[in-house]
Structure formats: structure tokens, C-alpha cells
Amino acid sequence: DGGITQSPKYLFRKEGQNVTLSCEQNLNHDAMYWYRQDPGQGLRLIYYSQIVNDFQKGDIAEGYSVSREKKESFPLTVTSAQKNPTAFYLCASAAGTVSYEQYFGPGTRLTVT
Amino acid sequence: LAKTTQPISMDSYEGQEVNITCSHNNIATNDYITWYQQFPSQGPRFIIQGYKTKVTNEVASLFIPADRKSSTLSLPRVSLSDTAVYYCLVGYSGNTPLVFGKGTRLSVIA
């Protein structure tokens, strides 16, 4: 059953702690993306990667870090430097450079108190 | 990146056809127009994509006039389960990621 998985679905952390969100895909897609969504807002791009061992910053990369050591995995770390980390985080993938047809995971809702 | 403008919200009764229009005056020659649907607490889902004229699939139709400065997503005979946010995006199959705006919140009423 092909698709994108994100874990966990809900995550709670104390302020000042780093936290890593998982994203795995078995679609054999080259490109992967991380978005952040705040209530009532659209999606904002954090980081994206079009090939293994390479990634680029999106619009709101500050306070976040990523790695792309394997084609199927693109974990996102929310660092303590991110001033307002509580949000809904979405991971997506796309085949090659067909960026306009992205497949999204179910999302992780992160709450930092 | 071409900027898109779409209504913030729309209401419709069940069984009606819903048309959501998106303006993209600065669309580039090689840009495609893509629509996504998002339910609460879920990731967006690709609905339809087109370049010009009309595209139809099992879910929706997409109408694109000759000047391509706007597009209309048409949902036939909506049901309560079509209540969602619909995003219009413009981009191309290159290395530039898509930009999601705030979308149009469609509420279907019984």
C-alpha cells in the first residue's frame, strides 16, 4: 500500500526542547516537502528536497532543520530556536520535478507549552 | 511565482453545482493550474490540473479561458462531504515549489 506516513499524529513538547517529526514515503518519489499550517491559514513551505543529500530552504526555514540521507525519508527537526512551533505540520512528496502534483501525509499536530 | 486570488468562502446547498473562480493574472507560459482539496486536520489532496481549455475527471471539471488569467473549478452536485478548503495553485513542473494561499472554504448545507 503506497503512500506517505507521518508519525506521530499528535506530539507534545516542553518549550526549549528540540523535536523531530518523521516522514516516510514508499512512492519512489524524488522530491519531498515540509509545510506548516496554522489555524485558518494556508500552507507555508519550510524546506524541500529534490534529491537525496540535497535540500533547500522554503519561506519559513528559521528554527527548523532537515536531512535527506535516504530517498524515502525526510525528517524535520523543530529546534528550540523556533519561536512559535505549535502548528500542524504536513509532509508531501512528488515524482521527479512534477511539483504541482504532490501527495501529502496525514500530518503531525505539534503542541509546545 | 504567479499570485492567485480566490474567494475566502462560499456556501452551497446539497445537490447544487459549485463554481470556484481563481484569478492568476501573472501566469507564465509554462505554468499549469492545479487545485487541491483539504479536509480539517488532513493533508491536501490533488483534485485536478490543467493548462488550457477544459479538463474533466471523476471528481471535478476545470475551465480555463484562452487568456489563462483565471480558472474555474466546477464541482457537480455537491454533497455535505465536499465541505472543505479548496486551493488554487499555479506553477510548472520545474524546481520551484508551489505556493499555497489561504484557499476557499466551501460549506455545503443540507
Going by pLDDT thresholds of 50, 70 and 90, the confidence category of residue B93 is low
pLDDT of residue B101: 81
pLDDT tens, position by position, A44-69: 999 999 899 999 999 899 999 999 99
A23 interaction partners in chain B (CB closer than 8 Å): none
pLDDT at B10 over 60: yes
**Any CB–CB contact under 8 A between A95 and chain B?**
no
Residues forming beta bridges with residue A11, ordered by sequence position? A110
pLDDT of residue A99: 53
Mean pLDDT to the nearest integer, B11-19: 97
| DSSP character string of B26-83 | T--TT-EEEEEEE-TTS--EEEEEESSEEEE-SS-EEEE-TT-SEEEEEESS--GGG-
pLDDT at B28 over 90: no
pLDDT tens, position by position, B32-44: 899 999 999 999 9
B1 interaction partners in chain A (CB closer than 8 Å): none
**Any CB–CB contact under 8 A between A10 and chain B?**
no
CB contact under 8 A, B93 and A98: yes
pLDDT at A97 over 60: no
A101 interaction partners in chain B (CB closer than 8 Å): 34, 46, 49
Mean pLDDT of chain A: 91
Mean pLDDT to the nearest integer, B50-73: 95
pLDDT of residue A11: 94
pLDDT of residue B30: 83
pLDDT of residue A57: 94
- Alpha-carbon gap, residue B83 to B107, rounded angstroms: 5
CB contact under 8 A, A97 and B41: no
Q: Assess contact for B107 and B10: CB atoms under 8 A.
A: yes
Q: Which of the residue ranges A30-44, A99-113, B19-33, B91-105 would you say has the lowest mean pLDDT?
A: B91-105
Give the closest-approach CA distance of B104 to chain A in angstroms. Answer: 10
Q: Which residues contact B54 (CB under 8 A, 6 or more apart)?
A: B61, B62, B63, B64
Mean pLDDT to the nearest integer, B21-34: 90
CB contact under 8 A, A88 and B41: yes
Instruction: Return the higher-pLDDT residue of A61 and A2.
Output: A61
